[in-house]
Amino acid sequence: MKVIKKCQLFAVIAMICCGLIFPASALADSITPVTFSAKIKKGGSVSVNRTVTVTREVTSAKADVFFLIDTTGSMEDLIDSAKTKAAEILNNASALGDVAFGVGYYEDFPTGEYGISTDIAYQLVTDITKNTAAVRNGINALSLGHGNDWPESNLYALTQVASSTSWREGATRIIVWFGDAVGHDGDVESDYPSRVGLQDAISALTAKSIIVEAVNVNRIYHRGYYYSMDEGGVIYPRLHGQASAITAATGGKLFDGSNTNTIVSIIGNALKDAFASYSEVKLSLSRQFAGLGVSISPAVITGSFDRSYERYFNFSITYSGLEVGTYPFDILAKVNGGVVATASDVIEVALQDCNGVWNGTAFTDSCGQCVGGNTGKTACVQDCNGVWGGVAYRDECGICVGGNTGNSPCTRDCNGTAGGSAFVDNCGICVGGNTGKSACVQDCSGNWGGSAYSDNCGVCVGGNTGRAACVQDCSGTWGGTAFWDECGQCVGGNTGKNACVITVGFSTEAQEVNEDVTVTATVTLSIRKAADVVVPYTVSGTAESGADHDLSGGTLIIPAGQTGGIITFNVAKDALKESDETVIITLSSPVNAVLGTITRHIVTIHDTSVFIGGVFTVGKTGTVEIDWLYDGGMYEGELGIFSLDGMEELLPDMRAFIAEAARRVLSGTEDGYVVLSDPTEAAHFSGTLGGEPKDWNSGTYNDVKKFKMRRGDLFATVLVPDGNFETLLRNPGTEDALVRPLFSLVSSNPDYGMYLGQVADVNGMGNAFVYEDMSVARSDKDYNDLIIRVSGATIADAPLLDELIAESAAVSRSKRNETEWFDWRTETELGKEIMSHLETGAGVSQSIETQPEKLLMTVTLIPANPAETAADLLVYDAEERVIGKAGGDIPGAVFGVNADGSLSVSLPVLRQSRYRVLARGMKTESATLTVKVYQQDAEIFSETKEIGVKAHQVIVSVVSTDSNLSVDFKTPAVTTDAAGNPLYHDFDGDGDIDDTDVEKVSALWNVSKGDACYDAFYDLDDDGHISVLDIMRVASGMTGN
């Protein structure tokens, strides 16, 4: 319970209300004119200007004043004084104008530490009323409560006053709040019965546009801190500043009411403060009518105003008549939403006729004139043309004329008929109308009544023209120039045909044949010709004339009267199991005819050879070099090479085949050679590759051997395991496994005993091979019995050792133990030495005449996006040997794919030599090409160039060296012909499109995407199938044969 009394407060209230005295002579706020009435017609309008005057003093305000009082134990004197001075409080406050009052009080919630059981958090004593007796009774009914702690239910009470009081519409709302303690805040006191906080109270007050004028009755100083309705001291710091925040938010002030000598003037100023400043002046109607439109301009006047002097605000009100009726209402002048003055208006909306008479009967007729009523005028009527007030009339012919009809009265025609249509024509005769006669006309020559006419050719003939009519030509065209030619055809004119032009061409575009057949290509004429037709033709394609077939360029003569002719040739049969080849016959420049649609015929030759692998092809130099690298078997046999020319004809007689192979090996000619003889010769490397009981190598190493053979010839190797070729020649049918020969050849016919896997490619480069010295059908498949290196030749379809190892690991286990098979290339020191020898090209200097110093070149292609690249890299040397991802025949050259996706080639280089570097594109992409040259492991040249390659395109650069090892790296580009035209299908980059380029794509004829040998680079139309269309693209651009 509060123990500090708030003395004489209600005495102060009485004095305050007595002090709310505004000078008797003060002027009230007003609106002029005070009344306005008008009568307007429906659809019309009227305006009136009004001025709102806001004076210095408030004597005409509409205000609701609510006294909210803290009635806890310390407020006893205040309550007694209030009861004594209640009448004076109300009488003097009424001087504001139209004032109503309300009374309420608060203590605290009757729970716990906050209040006793009889305390009340808030009580409305008297709701807003102008009955001052009822208000006085309410004040007299106030009694003293208790309140346990210092804070009271201030915030809760203010919120209740804002929300539950019956505030009047348009009144300025003021709460005069008396207290001496801070209030409990539900936001910061979780145990307090009310959840109302400071911001909740402010929101409730401002939502109702309430001004709070707070009067602090007493300010207590206790132990160094102040306590009041705005100060919580050290005990209630979180409740500090409530009254200041509320008055500031609502536009009121916090007044000090502790000095009774000055409290009257303070509260008087507080009430004046509620009206002292304003920001908005507007007019509004007391009621609205559907039949009356109202527009007020401006709708509101805003600004920062005060009552330091009298102010004037001007408005214009426009009334619009919508429906007939009389509309009385008030115009309310509002300051900050409160009504300060009232005017009364009456607007009558009535009917007015077109003559200006209220409720008259005059009207506007169809002619737009005001008639009837008291106008003395009658309404207009329609004339015969339907025009209101028109002057049209009907003439003697019964026709509406005059006015705006555009018609003139009728007259008599040449036949005497009124309004008739008869007339005198150009021949001077009265015709038409009811004469029964027609007017004469002009003929096509312009003569009236003439007999000339337009014939089927559109020409005026007959009459006096002197011209005869045209006739039809052979195509049925009138006046046409078509005629019958010597072939009996209607040509010329508009037929679109030329006389007797005969075309010549092949009957079909292509055909497919096997080897060893006669081929016929039919050439046809469009029609028979009375004279001989002479047709020159050329031959191209991947098949070689003279080797694969006997056709060369020539001339076909089609005799007179014949419809065509034929071109025939024979296809040879060879031993090589090779890709399909093509013969392309092209017609050109015929005599007595012109070329037709099909001028090119492609013959595709399918290979029928029995050998499907193990066949070597002699390179362009014609020299085959063989180096015996390792002897890993106990047998002492001989190895030979022999030409396959004509050998297939000896099959299936294997005895004859073996005898001829032995004869050729022993000939020492281009037909064959003995390559090595184990009893007297030694291999390059000595030692064991694991598991052999001893080193079998003995004799003299004879270095790299060279064998002269025919360029492009096909040959195979043959091994006599533990004997010699002379013995084999004497007994070619021997069944002795030590003498019966083992061939590099592979055949699908098991009767020939030529098996896949007898020979294997050691490193995938096509230049080093390992032989099993027993038939592969019973071999241990350790693949280290005989190792040789071959250069100057390429091999078709030799299996990779890596592939055979995977198949043989479970069978050949004898080298280390019974459960584990191993790879001699990586798991023995000697094997590693042999592989290094192969990869570095060591030992080839004797056969390719390199310079004494060690020279090496690397070429690296780095795509811009290695993960998605489809680019390829190839390098050709001066002898047209090549190295790429498919291997090659450049001695010592190595191709590799690096971990970063780049492609690289390393190869020995020569002084004064030239190398051609090719970058192939499967799709459009960019990359960098780097060339480096090393001498004795020291880098002497390095250069990088940016390239851009398109799909199916080859970019070519030339790298050359001189005698001083100066290196020239040309900018990569597409090759061009002599005229500078790009050669997009120059696949080998040699500067022309020839049979070699055609062969590269035709070798893949009829291969589709998904097939093992499909190469997207040669699928030139990107349809997933390499067809004749792709081959013809290349062949059509050939620059030479």
pLDDT at 61 > cutoff 70? yes
Q: Is 525 in the same domain as 547?
A: yes
Q: Which residues pair with 863 in a beta bridge?
A: 927
Residue-wise pLDDT for 12-59, tens only, equals 343 333 333 333 333 478 899 989 999 999 999 999 999 999 888 777
What distance in Å separates the CA atoms of residue 576 and residue 898, rounded to the nearest whole number?
Answer: 35
Nearest to 631 by CA among 678, 700, 675: 678
pLDDT at 147 > cutoff 50? yes
The helix (H) or strand (E) run that includes residue 1029 is helix 1028-1035
Mean pLDDT score, 424-452: 86
Q: Is 601 in the same domain as 630?
A: no
Residue 675 falls within a domain, yes or no? yes
Q: What is the pLDDT of residue 747?
A: 66
Q: Which residues pair with 512 in a beta bridge?
A: 604
Q: What is the CA radius of gyration of the chain?
A: 62
Residue 326 falls within a domain, yes or no? no
pLDDT band for position 811 (50/70/90)? very low
Q: What is the pLDDT of residue 240?
A: 95
Nearest to 1005 by CA among 1025, 990, 986: 1025
pLDDT band for position 101 (50/70/90)? very high
Mean pLDDT score, 181-188: 94
pLDDT at 411 > cutoff 70? yes
**DSSP sequence for 4-63:** S--TTHHHHHHHHHHH----TTPPPPEEESSEEEEEEETT-EEEEEEEEEE-SS-SSEEE
Mean pLDDT score, 866-872: 76
Residue 283 falls within a domain, yes or no? no
What distance in Å separates the CA atoms of residue 301 and residue 299, rounded to the nearest whole number?
Answer: 7
pLDDT at 885 > cutoff 90? no
Q: Is 577 in the same domain as 711?
A: no
Residue-wise pLDDT for 675-712, tens only, equals 999 999 999 998 888 767 788 888 889 889 999 999 98
Domain end, chosen from 591, 606, 621, is at 606
pLDDT band for position 196 (50/70/90)? very high
What distance in Å separates the CA atoms of residue 1009 and residue 1012, rounded to the nearest whole number?
Answer: 8
Q: Is 874 in the same domain as 803?
A: no
Domain end, chosen from 792, 811, 840, is at 840
Contacts of 356 (CB under 8 A, 6+ apart): none
pLDDT at 376 > cutoff 50? yes
Q: In terms of pLDDT, which residue wins out, 893 or 319?
A: 319
Q: Is 561 in the same domain as 694?
A: no
Q: Is 639 in the same domain as 569?
A: no
Nearest to 1000 by CA among 974, 1029, 1034, 1041: 1034
Domain end, chosen from 562, 578, 606, is at 606
Q: What is the pLDDT of residue 899?
A: 72
DSSP 8-class letter at 472 = B
Q: Is 243 in the same domain as 114?
A: yes
Residue 348 falls within a domain, yes or no? no
Q: What is the pLDDT of residue 82?
A: 59
Q: In terms of pLDDT, which residue wins out, 338 or 74?
A: 338
Q: What is the pLDDT of residue 800?
A: 81
Q: Is 508 in the same domain as 586?
A: yes
Q: What is the pLDDT of residue 204?
A: 96
pLDDT band for position 440 (50/70/90)? confident
What distance in Å separates the CA atoms of residue 227 and residue 964, rounded to the nearest whole number?
Answer: 107
Q: What is the pLDDT of residue 849?
A: 34
Cβ neighbours of 953 (radius 10 Å): 19
pLDDT at 140 > cutoff 80? yes
Q: What is the pLDDT of residue 623?
A: 92
Q: What is the pLDDT of residue 84?
A: 64
Q: What is the pLDDT of residue 13?
A: 42
pLDDT band for position 4 (50/70/90)? very low
Residue-wise pLDDT for 13-25, tens only, equals 433 333 333 333 3
Instruction: Return the minimum-mean-pLDDT range out of 334-343, 530-539, 569-578.
Output: 569-578
Q: What is the pLDDT of residue 9?
A: 41
Residue-wise pLDDT for 937-996, tens only, equals 788 899 999 988 888 889 999 999 987 888 999 999 999 988 889 998 999 989 899 888
Residue-wise pLDDT for 466-501, tens only, equals 888 888 888 888 888 888 775 778 888 888 888 778
Q: Is 87 in the same domain as 73?
A: yes
pLDDT at 602 > cutoff 90? yes
Contacts of 304 (CB under 8 A, 6+ apart): 277, 279
Q: Is 668 in the same domain as 589?
A: no
- Domain extent for 88: 9-25+54-278
Sign of the C-alpha dihedral computed for residues 245, 250, 254 and 257 taken in this order? negative
| CATH code of the domain in which 595 resides | 2.60.40.2030
Mean pLDDT score, 48-76: 86
Q: Is 196 in the same domain as 233?
A: yes
Q: Is 259 in the same domain as 215?
A: yes
pLDDT band for position 875 (50/70/90)? very high
What's the number of domains the chain is made of? Answer: 4
Q: In terms of pLDDT, which residue wins out, 782 or 662?
A: 662
Whether 400 contacts 394, CB under 8 Å: yes
Mean pLDDT score, 905-928: 87
Q: What is the pLDDT of residue 146?
A: 84
